[in-house]
Amino acid sequence: MSDVVIIMGSTSDLPVVEKAKSLLQELEVSVEMRVGSAHRTPEHVRELIARAESEGTKVFICAAGGAAHLAGAVAALTARPVVGIPLAAGALGGVDALYSTCNMPPGMPVATVSVGSWGATNAALLAAQILAVADDTLHERLCTYRAQKTRDVIAKDQELQAGDQG
Ligand code: RP5
């Protein structure tokens, strides 16, 4: 059983989605990746969600491009939190996926993050933050991660200043 299951619409989504997996692993969150399409394999998605729920998965991350209905379809199948990553696929650059993922009708929420790799990072962090509500050690790891990001920016600022003075 994994606390987080990431479902992507196609293996062509893998290069972006892997970023979410590795960040969750870095945060020591158990995670697995699956492929299932709302349009091409709706029954497979239904079975996958039922199985994951019965095994104790707590958060689902869904990534899809195009007319991206995967996150919404999963939200219809589970009362667990669903985080949706819209991906850029096809001619519309991800705007289509963003609208399809975020504009859910009242009653079936999808926590939609940014398009593409920014979204993969934020989906992982959001899933970890959801789990951290009931896990203080994970919360500590998230605080450490954020503190490092702060230090990185300060270091860049100092580098820039040093360059200007040189
Ligand atoms: C979506 O259609 C997938 O999530 C992918 O982003 C896009 C294209 O899929 P492939 O044609 O590459 O399988 O369902």
Q: What is the DSSP secondary-structure string of 23-46?
A: HHHHTT--EEEEE--TTT-HHHHH
pLDDT tens readout for residues 4-51: 999 999 999 999 999 999 999 999 999 999 999 999 999 999 999 999
pLDDT tens readout for residues 111-164: 999 999 999 999 999 999 999 999 999 999 999 999 999 999 999 999 999 998
- What band does 62 get if pLDDT is binned at 50, 70 and 90? very high
| Confidence (pLDDT) at 165 | 80
Nearest CA to ligand 1 atom 12: 12
Q: Kindly state the DSSP code that residue 12 receives in the 8-state scheme.
A: G
For ligand 1, say whether the CB of 36 is within 6 Å of any of its atoms: no
Q: b/e for 26-47, b at 16 or more Cβ within 10 A? A: ebebebebbbbbbeeeeeebee
Closest C-alpha to 125, from 31, 51, 47: 31
Model pTM?
0.96
- What band does 1 get if pLDDT is binned at 50, 70 and 90? confident
| Confidence (pLDDT) at 164 | 84
Pocket test for ligand 1, best of 8, 11, 13, 85 (most atoms within 8 A of CB): 13
Closest atom of ligand 1 to 63 CA is 4
